[in-house]
Structure 1
């Protein structure tokens, strides 16, 4: 049996987000953010993907992130447990609304800054390297309601103020940074990443890509600021990467899969790594009558603010064909595609593809030739009456082992 050894200095750890773990959603002078108004349960996905969400907290709904695991109060108990698990790195995010409660203030909230001082100190005390996401699905709700989210150019200024504030505050504590979590996911779920709900499906493209232009400029500003404030740091982008397979060798399906992969998987990395819009997106804008408002210095900023590494999440692959029928759909794969007959499926229709991680690593490195950082990857089945807890755990561990094996193979580690 082969065993694989991770290289010296490999950042092994876990990943979280402020809105997933902190709780204390209305404590410490924190403002309300987008995540705070998203209820739990089956309705959540429809809210994220369909028009008409009102961004209000309702008394008859359950909001899991309001309490979460109470990391806000329990971090001194939680972090030693991470160390006990062998964490060498801990991916976390800073809640924008703990630092600027409304998002447009001129001065930050000291209570929020002090909270993250304490968290970062506790991580270092236990030998854990923090990896910080600047914005992870938690835009200030005030910026959504008063400014229209990232559609409004003013938000670029607000984000720059927030980013430079935390870069300066934590420059001696944080070496690894990321700008926006899964930046491409707003193509499917704009509420999370861009801070607005699509009103009419036919009007999706223009506001979405204008908002994305603002966000890409803001990302470049943050990267440039990070390089100036913390020269020895590394700051990356972060994308939701799902390798796209053609359903078969029909050239029409191969071409369709290629185009889907260009826009979803590569557009955002191309801009943030190469510093310019790729030609396939300029063509997409022209074909769909998308006219971006680009200010004089924007394109130069994109060139100056390129990232040091590509961070990505891997949860699934995606299989595509040009002509789809309802029966072809892959129910659990939330970013679309058709059923892949060669993959097993979880209880909720999620296709299981550990080899897809290795494919993703090869594709991304071949394209960008800069360091890669797998910052999210997980799979878990739903337990039902036909499965014991032990058999469910066996499935989970088998899948995790398969994923790690593909990661190890890509790194060409020592094997014995």
Structure 2
């Protein structure tokens, strides 16, 4: 089966500042939350690799952009490292050498005919603000973030036309304050919800600031809604899926697009005494400043069932009170990552946005396949033969194209990631890139087979899939 790819359909790739840059040129007091976590718990990062060197993008960015040009990448999405952008976060003194790096990178992308898309925060909360204000617990941090955004728009808005406020704003506080599985391991469900709200509020305030700047372009945010499937048609399982979706997905989707939190969610937060502190002025601001478009990160489905046991009332409230995870028998797996492979989630997410969120413009900003020990698949020329990645990308894009044919507003697909890069804790254990990064001193780069395939896909605008791929 052949599918034509619309001419304006994005075929890009993504990464982030902290996962690529390394610490070259970073000042000691410019740690981000990720830097602090790595310094405090180096042992949890696979083989000790972390953001210290990463892919050394600070020095190697031109080589990566040359590969982007070779492939014909249409767009590249990365972030500005907020922690490195200033030497003084409260007096807003810009680190001019880092700002120049961002400017030079933007110019190089444009020169290569690759459109830059910039995200303002990809887990890069400055450690100083975390320590002084308890991070996103504080409205002072919200206001400082808005001022940072204004400066970024002023510095780069003449060339960057597509902006994102956050990448996956639910993740850090979920891992730290809800699940307590990441440093500093503080279980505090109320704080989890306060961070959620302040990021929703920051999204609205930054969106307002962008529009008031008069800059050409648009602004959105990148969410990672887990496409949720109930184990069965039973009322109990359906309720479990509904409540999972409410706590983890709609908590950001609804205010970003509809301008309001779901009433049912607010009622549950009150019931469990974890309602975030807020006032009516904040809710009005959220209502009046919804985003222009969405980035959606999708990797795997979330399958749930009704809880099997009564909740332990001695433990702090957790949404798991309402659901258990469920593993589908016979599911396809990426065994390296422990994730189910289910390409139809692309179509299902597309139809949900179409039917429930006014078909707001959106695109896939992350999707990919991380594999361990890819050196196993090198040929004699040293090229990784990653046919598994080619198949994975093709299947997911195929379902997106089907959704577009049925009226979805999906604008494109961005692979995670352009090069192999550092991931939280997994470091370089799982490789995601079209370009392989060797862990030598130079961080030597080499195109994988998937890079050549992606190049052909971009040039031909035709996806060839077997008839069996879409069922």
The normalised TM-score by structure 2 is: 0.75
SS of 1:17 mapped into structure 2: coil
Residue 244 of structure 1 is aligned with which of 223, 228, 232?
A: 228
User: 1:149 deviation in Å?
Assistant: 0.8
1:355 has 2:344 as partner: yes
In structure 2, C-alpha distance between the alignment counterparts of 1:136 and 1:360, rounded to whole Å: 22
In structure 2, C-alpha distance between the alignment counterparts of 1:123 and 1:239, rounded to whole Å: 25
Match of 1:154 in 2: 140
Structure with the higher fraction of residues in strand conformation: 2
Q: Is the 8 A contact 1:90 1:129 kept in 2?
A: yes
> Map of 1:1-150 to 2, 5 A cutoff?
2-24=1-23, 26-27=25-26, 31-39=30-38, 43-44=44-45, 62-101=48-87, 103-150=89-136
SS of 1:249 mapped into structure 2: coil
SS of 1:359 mapped into structure 2: helix
User: 1:41 deviation in Å?
Assistant: 7.8
User: 1:187 deviation in Å?
Assistant: 5.3
Match of 1:275 in 2: 259
Higher relative contact order (CA 8 A, sep 6+): 2
1:410 has 2:403 as partner: yes
SS of 2:260 mapped into structure 1: coil
User: 1:43 deviation in Å?
Assistant: 2.4
Match of 2:327 in 1: 339
In structure 2, C-alpha distance between the alignment counterparts of 1:384 and 1:272, rounded to whole Å: 38
User: What is the RMSD computed on CA atoms of the aligned residues?
Assistant: 2.9
In structure 2, C-alpha distance between the alignment counterparts of 1:301 and 1:231, rounded to whole Å: 20
In structure 2, C-alpha distance between the alignment counterparts of 1:88 and 1:384, rounded to whole Å: 26
Q: Is the 8 A contact 1:32 1:141 kept in 2?
A: yes
Q: Is the 8 A contact 1:355 1:403 kept in 2?
A: yes
Cα separation, partners in 2 of 1:32 and 1:198, compared to 1, 3 Å: closer
Match of 1:401 in 2: 394
User: 1:224 deviation in Å?
Assistant: 0.8
In structure 1, C-alpha distance between the alignment counterparts of 2:252 and 2:153, rounded to whole Å: 23
Cα separation, partners in 2 of 1:254 and 1:395, compared to 1, 3 Å: same
Cα separation, partners in 2 of 1:183 and 1:210, compared to 1, 3 Å: same
In structure 2, C-alpha distance between the alignment counterparts of 1:396 and 1:128, rounded to whole Å: 22
Q: Is the 8 A contact 2:14 2:77 kept in 1?
A: yes
SS of 2:170 mapped into structure 1: helix
SS of 1:297 mapped into structure 2: helix
Unaligned runs of 5+ in 1: 46-60, 326-334
Cα separation, partners in 2 of 1:411 and 1:70, compared to 1, 3 Å: same
Q: Is the 8 A contact 1:29 1:101 kept in 2?
A: no
Q: Is the 8 A contact 1:134 1:163 kept in 2?
A: yes
Residue 297 of structure 1 is aligned with which of 270, 274, 281?
A: 281
Cα separation, partners in 2 of 1:28 and 1:147, compared to 1, 3 Å: closer
Q: Is the 8 A contact 1:13 1:87 kept in 2?
A: yes
Residue 302 of structure 2 is aligned with which of 310, 314, 318?
A: 318
The number of residues matched between the two structures is 386
Match of 1:382 in 2: 372
Q: Is the 8 A contact 1:28 1:112 kept in 2?
A: no
Q: Is the 8 A contact 2:31 2:84 kept in 1?
A: no
Cα separation, partners in 2 of 1:227 and 1:342, compared to 1, 3 Å: farther
In structure 2, C-alpha distance between the alignment counterparts of 1:362 and 1:128, rounded to whole Å: 29
In structure 2, C-alpha distance between the alignment counterparts of 1:284 and 1:237, rounded to whole Å: 25
In structure 2, C-alpha distance between the alignment counterparts of 1:6 and 1:13, rounded to whole Å: 13
In structure 2, C-alpha distance between the alignment counterparts of 1:357 and 1:209, rounded to whole Å: 28
Match of 1:262 in 2: 246
Deviations 1:85-134 (A, max 9, x none): 11110001000022124532332222222111111111111111111111
User: 1:171 deviation in Å?
Assistant: 1.2
Moved more, 126-135 or 207-216: 207-216
> Map of 1:158-169 to 2, 5 A cutoff?
158-169=144-155
The normalised TM-score by structure 1 is: 0.85
SS of 1:410 mapped into structure 2: helix
Q: Is the 8 A contact 1:383 1:392 kept in 2?
A: no
Unaligned runs of 5+ in 2: 310-322, 407-461, 465-471
User: 1:254 deviation in Å?
Assistant: 1.0
SS of 1:78 mapped into structure 2: helix
In structure 2, C-alpha distance between the alignment counterparts of 1:30 and 1:16, rounded to whole Å: 24
